[in-house]
Structure 1
Amino acid sequence: MSKLTVVVPAYNESEGLREFHARLAAVLDQLDLETEVLYVDDGSRDDTFAIMRALRESDPRVSTLKLSRNFGKELALTAGLDYVDADAAVVIDADLQDPPELIPTFVQHWREGYDVVYGTRASRAGETGFKKFTASGFYRVMGRLSSTPIPRDTGDFRLLSRRALDALKQVRERQRFMKGLFTWVGFRQLSVVYHRDPRYAGETKWNYWKLWNFAIEGITSFSGAPLKLATYFGLLTAIVAFLFGLWVLAKALWLGDPVRGYPSLMVVVLFLGGAQLMALGVIGEYLGRLYVESKQRPLYLIDEYRPAG
């Protein structure tokens, strides 16, 4: 019989974890295959891991994995997928925004031969209009800039086949944008449209600053376009400056030009200085990622792992 593992990364999700497991267990009871739930605690500061342990004691399908500290969701998710030994894995968050009831549909398409079945959000309940707008804009910018076509309005909620998991394990980069990596591995992929619910309990861990940094992570991980844009912008600025210089020289030779123009000079100097600093900042983002990769630190460290049963 085939085996399915549900990977659930969590950080400070104690308020809704029991309800999440109740709904997930009801779904798994309906599947005609062997199932396991792997809870990954990403260094939570509340009693999330204690609840995970209690769920393991009450349900023999549950296994628990605790990281040594908070490494972030991308690495917590990587750790969970590394420990999967099943024929397929489903990734889902513990906040109940993604409905566990959609898992049987994922499994059905997997049995039809698809290696990656991902959920695409038709709506995002419980989120502000500004967040919806920025999220939509991010996915569309990524679609324009990235050479890897990343599906729009798609999160981590998905099913991965065994060969997709094996392919993903070969990618050990430290600056990870999992939504892009899921697409990068290729194979047969299929979208399932669903309506995303609001959080069941607790508050989101993603404030706008973290989302901004996450967007930069995604763009720099899957596109060199910012470097090209900095190059093109610098070239355009140089051309404009050269033409302006020719105009000033011609005006001085033909018409004469008294010493003046301090305000315009300051504007030009500040503009060019700002453009240079912006270009250096873009280059610095990429150099910083190369520096992190060059240190070759482990992606994560495990504090405790307890298998199911």
Structure 2
Amino acid sequence: MSTETKQLDVIVPFLNEAESAIDFSRMAVELTEAVKSRFGLSTCFILVDDGSTDNSVELFEKHMQGKWKLLSLSRNFGKETAILAGLDHSDGDYVLLMDADLQHTTEVALEMISRLLANPELDMVYAVRAHREDDRLLTRWFAGLFYKIMNMGQRYEIPENAGDFRVMTRRFAAAMRQLRDRKRFNKGLYAWTGFRQERIEYLPAARRAGKTKYSRRKLLAFSLEGFTSFSVVPLRILSVFGAFVAVLGFLYGIKVILEVMISGVAVPGYPSLMVAVLVMGGLNLALMGLVGEYVWAALSEAKHRPIYILKSISGPAMRKQTAASASDVAEQTEDS
């Protein structure tokens, strides 16, 4: 089937990317031309402002060319939610997700599109970091442990080191729009939806300006949301550990009784009592905290608040629509 009339929507969530806006706008032109010449696809950029406090919006509106629209959310809802907002306003035959910081390159994007179009059985191609040698050893270890726990007992696998840099078909995008989780963990949602997916390895380009918006604290909170959304393993680990401690306590109690009855050894008092209180108290507090996270996630879903609030939409198409509306009003005024 010819792809002459088909469209690629490029969803770009951003937060305070004023330093990258001009360079990204130039790159968008290059990507549009390359997609048209290589695949015969038209391109529409859907930029999603996730509550920027700098002049990112003004710079994108000034320098973006071709077909594009910019969605401004009422506040910072998070990148995962911003992607959903972009998907909600996409009607393309294919959807490409990429960041505005220029670490996602045109070359890798074209390779992903090429693989998706070459295989009609595919519904998604996603990019995976080839290695994490720049990260500290402890960070890599925790990342590996996180994915091992997340994938325990699952009927699907969340790939390690994969992000949001990916291209998908219209039906995959439609499936993602159906998932209205308030606490969103897109990596898990991509895997949960199923469909046939393929990975390619890449190395992110260096940031040309600005700093990453993900601090260690935010990454930790994001990982916790992933656990509460997709895995019950942490609860089971603590439950097993609690049972193990209870068995040890029972065996220790038998030991103490036997020592008193057989050897007449005095029962250790204050130290053993404090150890038992601290171990069991700490275990109970940890379990209560973890259960609280799951309850909070369930409460957030039960409230049924809007996942995001759209403040405004701008772009060439919106300006044409506004101009047409104004023309209609003028004609109606003249007729009256």
TM-score, normalised to structure 2, is 0.86
CA contact (8 A) 1:147 1:223 kept: no
Q: 2:100 aligns with which of 65, 80, 94?
A: 94
Deviation at 1:207, TM superposition (A): 0.9
Residues 1:266 and 1:141: Cα distance change in structure 2 (over 3 Å) = same
CA contact (8 A) 2:256 2:267 kept: no
Give the AA of the match of 1:108.
S
Match of residue 17 from structure 1: 21
Residues 1:137 and 1:242: Cα distance change in structure 2 (over 3 Å) = closer
**1:120-159 equivalences in 2 (<5 Å):** 120-123=128-131, 131-132=139-140, 134-144=142-152, 146-159=154-167
1:286 equivalenced with 2:290 (yes/no) = no
Q: 1:55 aligns with which of 42, 47, 63?
A: 63
1:203 equivalenced with 2:197 (yes/no) = no
- Secondary structure at the aligned position of 1:85 is classed as coil
CA contact (8 A) 1:91 1:158 kept: yes
Number of aligned residues: 307
**1:157-176 equivalences in 2 (<5 Å):** 157-176=165-184
Identity of aligned residues (%): 38
Q: For structure 1, which runs of at least 5 residues remain unmatched after alignment?
A: none
Give the Cα separation in 2 of the matches to 1:29 and 1:133.
41
Task: Give CA deviations for 1:120-167 in whole Å, capped at 9, x if unaligned.
Answer: 111458766655554444344434465530111111000011110111
Q: Which moved more, 1:136-145 or 1:282-291?
A: 136-145
Task: Give CA deviations for 1:250-294 in whole Å, capped at 9, x if unaligned.
Answer: 222222343543112211211111111111111111011011111
1:268 equivalenced with 2:276 (yes/no) = yes
Give the AA of the match of 2:9.
T
1:191 equivalenced with 2:191 (yes/no) = no
Q: 1:219 aligns with which of 202, 227, 234?
A: 227
Deviation at 1:242, TM superposition (A): 1.1
CA contact (8 A) 1:88 1:160 kept: yes
CA contact (8 A) 1:7 1:37 kept: yes
**1:9-48 equivalences in 2 (<5 Å):** 9-31=13-35, 32-48=40-56
Give the Cα separation in 2 of the matches to 1:125 and 1:20.
27
Give the Cα separation in 1 of the matches to 2:202 and 2:66.
30
TM-score, normalised to structure 1, is 0.93
Give the AA of the match of 2:98.
I
Q: 2:115 aligns with which of 99, 109, 116?
A: 109
Deviation at 1:219, TM superposition (A): 2.0
Q: Which moved more, 1:223-232 or 1:104-113?
A: 104-113
Residues 1:7 and 1:187: Cα distance change in structure 2 (over 3 Å) = same
CA contact (8 A) 1:143 1:152 kept: no
- Secondary structure at the aligned position of 1:69 is classed as coil
**1:76-87 equivalences in 2 (<5 Å):** 76-87=82-93
Give the Cα separation in 1 of the matches to 2:224 and 2:143.
13
Give the Cα separation in 2 of the matches to 1:126 and 1:14.
26
Match of residue 80 from structure 2: 74
Give the Cα separation in 2 of the matches to 1:137 and 1:265.
34
Residues 1:255 and 1:137: Cα distance change in structure 2 (over 3 Å) = closer
Deviation at 1:176, TM superposition (A): 0.4
- Secondary structure at the aligned position of 2:311 is classed as strand
Give the Cα separation in 2 of the matches to 1:236 and 1:55.
62
Match of residue 333 from structure 2: none
Task: Give CA deviations for 1:182-240 in whole Å, capped at 9, x if unaligned.
Answer: 11111110101111122111011111111111111112211110111121111111111
Match of residue 64 from structure 1: 70
Match of residue 330 from structure 2: none
Give the Cα separation in 2 of the matches to 1:239 and 1:74.
43
CA contact (8 A) 2:61 2:315 kept: no
Of the two, which has the highest radius of gyration? Answer: 2
